Structure 1
Amino acid sequence: MQLPPRAKKIETKITVHGDTRIDDYFWLNERDHKDVLDYINDENAFYEEETKHLADFREQLFLEMKARIKEDDSSVPYKYNGYWYIVRYEVNKDYPIYTRKKESLEAEEEILFDCNEMAAGYVYFKMVGLSVSPDNTKIAFGLDTVGRRQYEIRIKDLTTGNILDDVIPNTTGSAAWANDNQTFFYTKKDEKTLRADSVYKHKLGSKLADYCVFVEKDDTFGTTVYKSKSRDYIIIACYSTVSNEYHILNADTPDENFECFQKRIRDLEYSISHYKDSFYIVTNADEAFNFKLMKTPVSKTGIENWHEVIAHSEDTLIEDIDIFKDYLVVSERTNGLNQIKVIRWDDDSSYYLSFDSETYLVNTTSNVDFDTELLRYSYSSLTTPNSTFDFNMRTKEKILLKQQEIVGGYNEANYQSQRVWATAQDGTQIPISMVYKKGIKNDSNNPLLLYAYGSYGITVDPYFSTLRLSLLDRGFIYAIAHIRGGEYLGRKWYDNGKLLQKKNTFSDFIDCSKFLIDQKYTSASHLYAMGGSAGGLLMGAVINQAPQLYNGIVAAVPFVDVVNTMLDDTIPLTTGEYDEWGNPHEETYYHYIKSYSPYDQVKAQDYPNMLVTTGYHDSQVQYWEPAKWVAKLREFKTNNNKLYLKTNMEAGHGGASGRFEALKEDAEEYAFLLDLENITR
């Protein structure tokens, strides 16, 4: 048996607020240092050696997952500015092909980009931010070939097929065209922190340097720029965790100055949508914690001119709106479930679309056409493949345009989903969505994978996954814990799981785990947990607090060195996180964060079997966080359970690029879990 790697210890003392921490693995943050690379490569080699018996099974799982995917697939077409846009895939090709057809779907196909050709020679390839000029003759796009989300903007001339000489590095990848078809606006990133902090104006072919039109000086804010759906305005959005600010410019006059819509106010959140002579604002103004809808004239945008359109509800969260010529569509969430409300502009009559499932996911999708009666939305559940509908808002007729096809067949009737409620230690009811193959009994012997995220107000909805079938068909129950820190049960659900109430997120997950064991869905010897990024922080916290509840853990790109990261404002994205986690430069937050930070709370105890994954080029959670964590776990853990660190040396936060390469990472995670259950075929 090969001995696991042992990282060398170099004592580093870090003193903050009179408290001294000893960090023996601080040296691992020296990117590209030979000793760092040697350790990471040793961990990768150890993982490969220890799991070589799973090589054939991983390949089997990969081929099984791949076989369910319709390889020659295409998106549902949508029409924008005279063209139908379609994304399609071809057999044995990893990347999409972007196409369009003029006016009619029967027209000749025009290939905008074949990403398979463009990705040739790159280990990693990502295209984002496709934006067509108003006259349909040019398209801007962003490229990342490293995985660090620093996109290079390029422009293609659609009349000649040539890529123009304009090259703009270190951006977010998106561009907003002015109506002159020569000017676009884009967002640049700080080279070191990667914070999106400035907006520039670019004129095609100009020899002059791009003009900076806006700089976000507050390092707790980021910024972006986009065009309104009405196509009348270029909009700069400044955002932090707890407040927003917008700046607007008439798209016909790109050389004029942006005007502030409403100056930022601490704890005032709002978003804007333009319609005719008004802006509509989704906001939490006046203590509307679940948000309300307000309206203001284009000429008077300050908050003193806003007036109410839809009142605040303590039971219903307003998530978004879609504006059409004759209709307003409001996306809401009540008791954790999505709802879509349709309102006519002319008479204010309204109704809700109906959905019957106990737990499901529905959301409006590519509604880019302003003058239409058709609302496009997608629906799925833990048992229902993703389905795209066009809904006529006047006749209330709905048409199924496409349902996700599972190659080899899939029978929804063979599976069952339900929603159950666990009681947290403070009495709060925590919802859990779950799915399993029909016929499974509550006898404590079922392997169960419990997934959660629990941060940033991000809701993990009960969506359908073909990958998950590889677990369900082998007897697993799959469950999603809708813990505090997400927004499943409204904004207060989020507020009660961040800052000085962050520990609710971890205790909720633990209490969900105990509930599933108590109700005999599973037992501690068959319970597994998975989370990524901030969900990886969740994994680290719960195994420090209740390691005995789990047989295995998968922590993907885990944010686990919370104190050190939040103290270092040179690390990408740190300053913008203060309102989520707290600023440890303030003593109260320092001690609270330290009390749950997974890396700081590792101690001598038995830990579950663990697979930890990361990307060397990760810009969200730096590679050294999981590397340090695993090194410390190796030092302290008191049992012989498995502990693996797998670093993708060619990827970032999102893992491998390409639809099939990414499946290999999923297959590795599933093989790890199934092997712990002695299921390897």
Structure 2
Amino acid sequence: MTSTSTAPGAAAGPDAPRPAHRETLRTHHGDTVTDPFEWLRDKEDPQVIAHLEAENAYADARTAHLAGLREELVQEFVGHTQETDLSVPVRRGDWWYITRTTAGDDYPAFTRVAESPELPRGAGGVPAIEPGELLPGEQMLLDAQAAAKDAEFFSLGGLAPSPEHDLLAHAVDLAGDERFTIVVTDLTTGTVIDESVTGTGYGLAFSADQQWIFYARVDDAWRQHQIWRHRIGGDPSADELVLEEPDERFTVWFERSRDGKALVLQSSSTTTAEAWILDLADPTAAPRPAGGRRDGVDYTVEWAGDRLLVVHNDGVEGFALAEAPLDAADSSAWTPLLSAGEGERLLGVESFAGCVALELRAGGLAAVRVIPRRADGSLDVEAAWDVDHGGELDVVELDTNPAWDSPALRYQLTSLLTPATVAQVDVASGERTVLRLTPVPGYDPELYREQRLWATAEDGTAVPISLVARKDVPVDGTAPGYLYGYGSYEVSIDPSFVPTRLSLLDRGLVVAIAHVRGGGEMGRDWYEQGKILAKKNSFFDFVAAAAHLVDQGLVAPDRLSAEGRSAGGLLMGAVANLAPERFRAIIAGVPFVDALTTILDPSLPLTVGEWEEWGNPLESEEVYRYMKEYTPYANVRPVEYPAIFASTSLNDTRVFFVEPAKWVARLRETVTSDQAERPILFRCEMVAGHGGRSGRYRKWEQRADELAWLLDQLGATARV
């Protein structure tokens, strides 16, 4: 099936919403700024809601001609998905835990089956289970589809079985604001025994005696700042505070050790960390220090049974691995084991009875390094080896490995051409076994190619690009293109397989990811080169990547699109201002486009913690002036711009809806491009969160809406 359309972006429609000007003044460092649209921040104002609804209606009208293409895309997304499917079973104690999906259901079901010699076996000794067919004795733990009922939004924030596997805790969000209710179920009876704890953050863990459950709370600025314990079945007003972080730059989190003996509690900013250990056999005891806090020293702690393992940056580039006694209170007890190699960045460590596994970045990609244990439990660093499959763009990451004494280590492998693959490696022999290659109906990898390219930024820095395209797409400067970017918080956008991209590739698009500075792809220094007073490097890198694709004849200069989400939306707004002529269309999802206004207001969610990423414009005039120079909302120019599709959610707690609302309003009244051909659209999900709609079919519909618009703008609606 193919689609046809009018000339790109030429669909006529009603007039775009134009909110009224209501001037708001602010002055910092002698600079007074007049903001006509700040009043849109108040979502309790009926006029604000009316404006958002008008924006949605306008977007509907301007994309009405794409209804057929949207449906076609949804059918392609569904067609590339084995709708009734299941995960690789995971062994926890005497049970195998399974996640199942069913055709037509938005949400999965979580089940388990007892370990038994009678179970049919597949690769690696894992139970062989067919999609849609329950095993004898398989028990339903949580039917998320039924739990969601008629909810417009449903998201799980955690799922944890108890040590004896007779209780299950899960956390659920029904609004999209990432505040959860904890539900505890007795698995022997199927009865909910506690759902009294509400408004929590991320994280769930049982005490060893199963009398207590640990959880986190968030403050008014949506900072996860406290860890609490709740006696199951008790009154939540009697819950006990375990740990509180008063420094607004820091957030807290916790993790139960693999052997179930300890709870590791951490508090971290983007540059500094502190850790504590709590004995789960004595759950009401106070946590004890396990590393201390020193400004600029970032680290994580792993409970390794007979010792602590620490990944840290204390005096080293790229981070290092150290060990310490279980009772170590500060870093003076850290004994070095190994440091990152040239071009590497150690990310974290997981410990097992027979080995430890390091997650790291090497060569710009995620990798896993295995360090065997000797007979006495010490680590044989000289015998370390990497889990490697030899692909140019292979991404290797640890999978779920809950068993302390498992002889095999599970990991995931993917690339732009390789669907998510779960495999395991025998630690003693190094033998690798593929447990599951995610089925992608209708996909033939032989039709496509992937490669790594390097663009040159204006300061001479080599910027990596990951690219995938059909082999039959000519390299003659005529192909439409799509370039994705993020570039903040040391987050890496790896070249992973994304099934919905096939709908772009099969319409002749060249798809690429620009791994710009500010991300973590090339290590810690790569991140440092794209933050605070070096933030503009992220934007320069992205423009350089766009230019490289055109210069190499990979894409047409007038058919290149771009996308970024959240902080990547800031990237989109910045490059639209910096080099609007480079892009035909831009998707900006939940975009952080009014960064300066947000970072100037410490009362807003997460702002204080963001100062280590962007700088503090309240205290530093230099930071203020620099941020004002690149904040997208403050720098819209009266020139021709790309077509823009911005989206947000009313309940987003990370990037408020007001940022894209203001940005779109300013774009519409400033740019000189013909908005009949290059529309500026804005959608606001009225019941959703930072990740958009919940449920896989709803997400596919939302994605089809964005991509249908993009393909129409590029004149690439027909399949090749």
Same fold (TM over 0.5): yes
In structure 1, what residue type is equivalent to 2:660?
A: P
Q: What secondary structure, in the 3-state scheme, does the structure 1 residue paired with 2:356 have? A: strand
Contact 1:131/1:174 (8 A) holds in 2: no
**Is residue 357–residue 371 contact of structure 2 (8 Å, CA) maintained in 1?**
yes
AA of the residue aligned to 2:651? H
Q: Which residue of 2 aligns with 1:331?
A: 359
1:34 counterpart = 2:71:
no
The answer on 1:88 being equivalent to 2:100 is yes
Q: Aligned to 1:174, what secondary structure does the other structure show?
A: coil
TM-score by length of 1: 0.98
1:173, CA displacement in angstroms? 4.1
Task: Specify the alignment match of 1:669 in structure 2.
Answer: 706
Q: Tell me which residue corresponds to 1:128.
A: 157
- Residue in 1 aligned with 2:459? 426
Give the Cα separation in 2 of the matches to 1:560 and 1:36.
Answer: 19
Whether the 8 Å contact between 1:389 and 1:398 is mirrored in structure 2 is: yes
Aligned pairs for 1:121-270 (under 5 A) are: 121-190=150-219, 192-207=220-235, 209-270=238-299
* The one of 281, 295, 304 aligned to 2:323: 295
Give the deviation of 1:384 after TM superposition. Answer: 1.3
Alignment deviations for residues 513-552 of structure 1 (CA, whole Å, 9 cap, x no partner): 1111111111331110000000000000001010011100
- Per-residue CA deviation, residues 279-329 of structure 1 (Å, 9 max, x unaligned), is 00000011x131000011112231111110112434221122221111122
Instruction: Tell me how far apart the structure 1 counterparts of residues 334 and 713 of structure 2 sit (CA, whole Å).
Output: 58
Tell me which residue corresponds to 1:450.
483
Q: Give the letter aligned to residue 164 of structure 1.
A: I
Deviation at 1:680, TM superposition (A): 3.1
Q: Contact (CA 8 Å) 2:508, 2:716: kept in 1 or not?
A: no
Q: Which residue of 1 aligns with 2:121?
A: none
1:499 is the counterpart of 2:499: no
Match of 2:662 in 1: 628
The letter for the 2-side match of 1:19 is D
Structure 2 counterpart of 1:527, from 560, 584, 590: 560
Q: Trace 1:532-571 onto structure 2 (pairs within 5 A).
A: 532-571=565-604
What SS does structure 2 have at the residue aligned with 1:456? coil
More displaced 10-residue stretch of structure 1: 3-12 or 319-328? 319-328
Distance 2:246 2:330 in 1: 22
Q: Residue type of the partner of 1:30?
A: D
Distance 2:91 2:402 in 1: 8
Q: Distance in 1 between matches of 2:501 and 2:602?
A: 38
- Tell me if the contact between 2:483 and 2:513 (Cα under 8 Å) persists in the aligned partners: yes
Find 1:356's aligned residue among 382, 390, 394.
390
Report the Cα distance in structure 2 between the residues aligned to 1:131 and 1:645, rounded to whole angstroms: 38
* Distance of 1:267 and 1:260 partners within structure 2: 18
1:200 Cα deviation from its structure 2 partner: 1.0
Taking the aligned partners of 2:568 and 2:36, their CA distance within structure 1 comes to: 25
**Aligned position for 1:371:** 405
Match of 2:171, SS?
strand
Partner in structure 1 of residue 124 of structure 2: none
Partner SS, residue 633 of structure 2: coil
The secondary structure found in structure 2 opposite 1:529 is strand
The list of structure 1 runs, each at least 4 consecutive aligned residues, that deviate by more than 6 angstroms after superposition, is none
Q: How far apart are 1:276 and its partner, in Å?
A: 2.8
Residue type at the aligned position of 1:142 = A
Q: Which one-letter code corresponds to 1:51 in the other structure?
A: T
Residues 264 and 301 in structure 2, CA contact (< 8 A), matched pair in contact too: no
Aligned to 2:715, the other structure's residue is in SS state coil
Structure 1 counterpart of 2:314: 285
By how many angstroms is 1:166 displaced? 3.9
Offset from partner CA, 1:114-147 (integer Å, 9 cap, x none): 0111111210011121111111111111110000
Match of 1:658 among 695, 700, 710: 695
AA paired with 1:200? W
Q: d(CA) in 1 for partners of 2:42 and 2:496?
A: 39
Q: For residues 280 and 222 of structure 1, what CA distance do their matches in structure 2 show?
A: 21
2:415 maps to 1:381: yes
The within-5 A match list for 1:53-72 is: 53-72=65-84
Aligned-pair CA distance for 1:107 = 5.5
Could you say which residue in structure 2 is the equivalent of 1:117? 146
Match of 1:441 in 2: 474
Counterpart CA distance in 1 for 2:31 and 2:17 is: 30
Q: What SS does the aligned partner of 1:234 have?
A: strand
Q: Is the 8 A contact 1:316 1:490 kept in 2?
A: yes
Secondary structure class of the residue paired with 1:599: helix
Distance in structure 1 (CA, Å) of the matches to 2:98 and 2:646 = 37
1:360 and 1:461 in contact (8 A); partners too: no
Q: Distance in 2 between matches of 1:27 and 1:379?
A: 47
What is the rounded CA distance, in whole Å, between the counterparts of 2:593 and 2:626 in structure 1? Answer: 14
Structure 1 pair 173–282 and aligned structure 2 pair: CA distance change class (3 A): closer
Using the alignment, how far apart are the partners of 2:717 and 2:497 within structure 1?
Answer: 24
Q: Find the counterpart in structure 1 of residue 519 from structure 2.
A: 486
**Distance in 2 between residues matched to 1:315 and 1:261, nearest whole Å:** 29
Map of 1:617 onto structure 2 = 651
Q: Structure 1: how far apart are the matches of 2:372 and 2:253?
A: 31
Specify which of 574, 588, 593 is matched with residue 627 of structure 2: 593
Q: State the TM-score, normalizing by the size of structure 2.
A: 0.92
Q: Distance in 1 between matches of 2:428 and 2:645?
A: 52
Cα pair distance change 1:189/1:399, threshold 3 Å = same
Q: Matched residues in 2 for 1:343 and 1:214: separation? A: 33
CA distance in 1, matches of 2:252, 2:520: 23
